[in-house]
Amino acid sequence: MAKTRVGIINVTGYAGVELARILCQHPKVQLTSVTGRSAAGQVLDDFFPHLKGAGLNIEARLGEVDVAFSAMPHKESARELLPLIEDGLKIIDISADFRLKDPEEYPQWYGFTHPAPNLLTKAVYGLPELHRDVIKKAHLVANPGCYPTGAILALAPAVKEGLIDPDIIIDSKSGVSGAGRSLSLTTHYAEANEDTTAYALSGHRHMPEIAQELQMLYPGAPLAITFIPHLTPMTRGILTTAYAPLVKGKLADGEKGEEELLELYRDFYNDEPFVNVVTSPPHTKHTWGSNYCHIYATIDHRTGRLIAISAIDNLVKGAAGQAVQNMNLMLGMPETTGLESLAICP
């Protein structure tokens, strides 16, 4: 049986090249076309020697494919994808261009007017743990951002169950690859090494995405979310710690309440192949190079707060791996296909 032809628009960024790495090893699809404007005409495995044997030229335009991934920057991605959407291709967009349902959010958070607002309601938010059934039927999937993936998965069981009040604080720490491959002073080795800093305190563009998805799960009042990201001196990984007041009476006091919380999280993610509910706080190294999300939830009994912690690899479950997971669902394959690799340690 012929393999499904897949292509990557903008293979030269970190998300794009991670996609290429995973797809080159996928048993059911064939990576047949990759683009990269700055590298057009070069051989993929010369440009990225770790992809030895890929056997592809980097093109200026995407060739004939059945499924297209876009790893273009926001704003540029939507415009690049519109002709492909009109042609009926299955699309997974790794940018933010189809994640938000309200077109008015784009000028505020991304600085542009969306070129096809009518498509925002048709695009499916590609978090399989929440939207698996609709992803299977979708032609346009908006791959979640890296920070939202970790934050939403950490909080979803508690939010859906109504365990917490709507005042949520999310603290996330990311490796420098989350900033992309383009050179900048912020991610220059001498600036980022041995340094940790908070940024986007007035509002990070991933915040409305987090709020949008958690609000769909919340049965009560509008959520009040404070989200503060931090840059840490590591290459990969996001560690998210979320805090929220527990609703009194929802859980038992003391250790019994912790046991009930653990059971609730295990039940919520019972059949999820890429979410592990763990019994001690996870490390980013526990997920390095894998499509897994590790989650730990507990209670601060002194303050009556939920503490929910998640760890992901921002380039895999936070980007390329999740995109392939979505593709598998769209093509009717087991969603774990090509993604079974365990984390790398140390």
Which CATH number goes with the domain that contains 166? 3.30.360.10
Beta bridge mates, 142:
93, 125
Query: Is residue 140 a contact partner of residue 84, using CB atoms and an 8 Å limit?
Result: no
Q: Which tens digit of pLDDT belongs to each residue from 337-346?
A: 999 999 999 8
Are both 89 and 194 inside the same structural domain? no
Q: Which residue has the tokens 């989200």?
A: 227
* Residue closest to 292 by CA, chosen among 159, 96, 153: 153
Are both 295 and 323 inside the same structural domain? no
Are both 322 and 295 inside the same structural domain? no
Would 338 be classed as within a structural domain? no
Are both 19 and 59 inside the same structural domain? yes
Are both 111 and 164 inside the same structural domain? no
Are both 139 and 151 inside the same structural domain? no
Would 335 be classed as within a structural domain? no
Separation of alpha carbons 59 and 61, rounded Å: 5
Would 64 be classed as within a structural domain? yes
Separation of alpha carbons 220 and 218, rounded Å: 6
Q: Where are the alpha helices (DSSP H) in the chain?
A: 14-24, 44-47, 76-86, 105-110, 128-137, 146-161, 189-192, 207-217, 254-268, 321-330
Q: Which tens digit of pLDDT belongs to each residue from 1-47?
A: 789 999 999 999 999 999 999 999 999 999 999 999 888 989 999 99
Q: Which residues of the chain have pLDDT under 50?
A: none
User: Half-sphere exposure of residue 301, counting CA atoms within 13 Å on the CB side?
Assistant: 9
Are both 188 and 284 inside the same structural domain? yes
Separation of alpha carbons 79 and 97, rounded Å: 9
Q: Encode burial over 279-308: b for 16+ CB neighbours within 10 A, e otherwise.
A: eeebebbbbbbbbbbbbbbbbeeeeebbbb
Q: Is 195 helix (H, G, I), strand (E, B) or coil?
A: coil
Are both 210 and 185 inside the same structural domain? yes
Would 343 be classed as within a structural domain? no
Are both 265 and 307 inside the same structural domain? yes
Are both 248 and 261 inside the same structural domain? yes
User: What integer pLDDT is reported at residue 169 of this predicted model?
Assistant: 98
Q: Judging by DSSP bridges, how do beta strands 58-59 and 293-300 pair with one another?
A: unpaired
- CATH code where residue 59 lies: 3.40.50.720
* Residue closest to 68 by CA, chosen among 1, 138, 5, 146: 5
Structural domain including 294 reads: 147-314
Query: 24, 146, 293, 345: which is the annotated catalytic residue?
Result: 146
**What's the longest Cα–Cα distance across the chain?**
64
Q: 146 an active-site residue?
A: yes
Are both 192 and 283 inside the same structural domain? yes
Separation of alpha carbons 315 and 199, rounded Å: 20
Are both 68 and 215 inside the same structural domain? no
User: What integer pLDDT is reported at residue 2 of this predicted model?
Assistant: 86
DSSP class per residue in 295-321: EEEEEETTTTEEEEEEEE-TTIIIIIH
| Residue 224, number of CB atoms within 10 A of its CB | 12
* Residue closest to 146 by CA, chosen among 268, 10, 321, 329: 321
| Residue 2, number of CB atoms within 10 A of its CB | 6
Q: Which residue has the tokens 């009926």?
A: 88
| Residue 198, number of CB atoms within 10 A of its CB | 12
- Number of independent structural domains in the chain: 2
DSSP class per residue in 92-131: EE-SSTTT-S-TTHHHHHHSS--S-GGGTTTSEE--HHHH
User: What integer pLDDT is reported at residue 34 of this predicted model?
Assistant: 97
Would 69 be classed as within a structural domain? yes
Would 345 be classed as within a structural domain? no
End-to-end CA separation in angstroms for the chain:
39
User: What integer pLDDT is reported at residue 50 of this predicted model?
Assistant: 95
